[in-house]
Structure formats: structure tokens, C-alpha cells
Amino acid sequence: MDQPIEFFSEDIDFELNNPAQVSEWIAEVIERHGQELSGLTYIFCSDDYLHQINVDYLDHDTLTDIITFNNADFDGIIEGDIFISVDRVRDNAQDHGTDFEDELHRVIIHGVLHLLGFNDKTEEEETLMHKEEDSSLSLRRF
């Protein structure tokens, strides 16, 4: 079954490993939270590209690993654009002593969790977000 999830890259040469399996995993996480997947677009990019989006759209002059835009018109529907800096993910994986692909999957699902209503502004929210990330990562079968 085709999932309404697309993966693109902007200003870098990057291809996601196992896109069909990653899509199935993302859809499963969304379904487990009782929401309906309408459409997701992932855009993998560089630090510079994502920094400019951060400045232009969010008025934040900082580097980040992910920016999530919620495009859903209704509650219970998941639709959005998720921009991920491959440069940040690579640096974060090295800083945390983890595998690049594991860190990438954590960031991929982090964006979905934001669309599902999870936040990470406070310490309590951040703790819950990490718990949900870990729970979601444990569902991977690839």
C-alpha cells in the first residue's frame, strides 16, 4: 500500500535508506496515536538551507535539526512539511555517540510527534517527547 509520504532533498545530495519501510513505520506511529495520515513531505537539506527557513519563517537566527510546518485543516488529520538538516543530524549523532541513521530516524519521528501534538518547550514536555521518540523508535522493524 502506498503511503502519502514523500521524501525530497534540497541543496544537498541525500537519499533516505529504506523509504518504503520508513513510511510504513511513520504511518504506524500516527495510527497508534489515533490520527489519520493525510500527507507528509520530508525535505532533507543543509544547515544553511534550514537556517534560512528558520530566519524567514520563524524569525529565529539559529541552527536547528528540524522545522515542522503543520498544514492540516482539521484535528485528527496529520499533514505537514518537515525540513531536516542532514548536517545537524550528522553532528548530533557524533555528539551523542549514536549511529547517523538512528539519529535521523529520531528526528524524522520527532517532527511527526510535533504534528501529533507533542511539544518540547518545557523540561516536562521535553521528557515526554523523548519518551515518545524512544517508544516510536522501538516499533521499527528494519
Is 65 flagged in the annotation as binding?
no
Per domain, the residue ranges of the chain are 5-137
- Please tell me the distance from the alpha carbon of residue 42 to that of residue 82, in angstroms, as a whole number: 5
The conformation of residue 132, written as its DSSP 8-state character, comes to H
pLDDT score at 6:
97
pLDDT score at 3:
56
CB neighbours of 93 closer than 8 A, spacing ≥ 6? 99, 100, 102, 103, 104
Residue 133 in grid coordinates: 521518540
pLDDT values of the chain reduced to their tens digit, one per residue, 142 residues: 455 999 999 999 999 999 999 999 999 999 999 999 999 999 999 999 999 999 999 999 999 999 999 999 999 999 999 999 999 999 999 999 999 999 999 999 999 999 999 999 999 999 999 999 999 999 999 9
pLDDT score at 1:
43
- Please tell me the distance from the alpha carbon of residue 127 to that of residue 15, in angstroms, as a whole number: 31
Is 110 flagged in the annotation as binding?
yes
Select 5-137's CATH number: 2.40.50.140, 3.40.630.30, 1.25.60.10, 3.40.390.30. 3.40.390.30
The conformation of residue 4, written as its DSSP 8-state character, comes to S
Closest CA to 110 of 49, 17, 40, 20: 40
Q: What is the pTM of this model?
A: 0.95
